[in-house]
């Protein structure tokens, strides 16, 4: 087996076939998430790899990986929040003040 680098990243050569290697970032980007609001402050994994922890604070809303969200929901440490659509985001944007005086 040999590694080659090129414009498409690293490839592993096995016999005459070459395959692109999946990057860690592409795997994390495809991870399913869920929006939750914490009911109590708890420590938990910062991402699905579990290599780092984070404090999830009571009253704050987080978009966390699905597996952790399910644990927080099951233990009643958090509640599920509806994800905001683009239209809702636009409706909640601050209104511009009219600067012309009459």
Query: How does pLDDT run across 27-53, given as a tens digit for each residue?
Result: 555 679 999 999 999 999 998 888 999
pLDDT recorded at residue 54:
95
Q: What CATH class is the domain 31-83?
A: alpha beta
Q: Which helix (H) or strand (E) segment is 3 a member of?
A: strand 2-6
What stretches of the chain show up as alpha helix (H) in DSSP?
24-29, 66-74, 86-91
**How far is C-alpha 39 from the geometric centre of its chain's CA atoms?**
20
Say how far apart CA 53 and CA 60 lie, in whole Å: 17
pLDDT recorded at residue 40:
97
Low-confidence ranges of the chain (pLDDT < 50): 1-5, 10-13, 16, 19, 102
pLDDT recorded at residue 2:
44
Q: Is the pTM of this model over 0.75?
A: no
């Amino acid at each position: 087996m040999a590694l080659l680098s090129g414009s498409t990243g690293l490839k592993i050569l096995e016999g005459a076939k070459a395959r692109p290697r999946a990057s860690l970032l592409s795997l994390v980007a495809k991870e399913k998430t869920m929006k939750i609001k914490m009911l109590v402050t708890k420590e938990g994994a910062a991402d699905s790899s579990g290599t780092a922890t984070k404090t999830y604070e009571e009253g704050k809303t987080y978009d966390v990986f699905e597996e952790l969200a399910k644990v927080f929901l099951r233990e009643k440490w958090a509640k599920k929040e509806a994800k905001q659509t683009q239209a809702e985001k636009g409706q909640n944007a601050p209104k511009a003040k009219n600067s012309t005086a009459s």
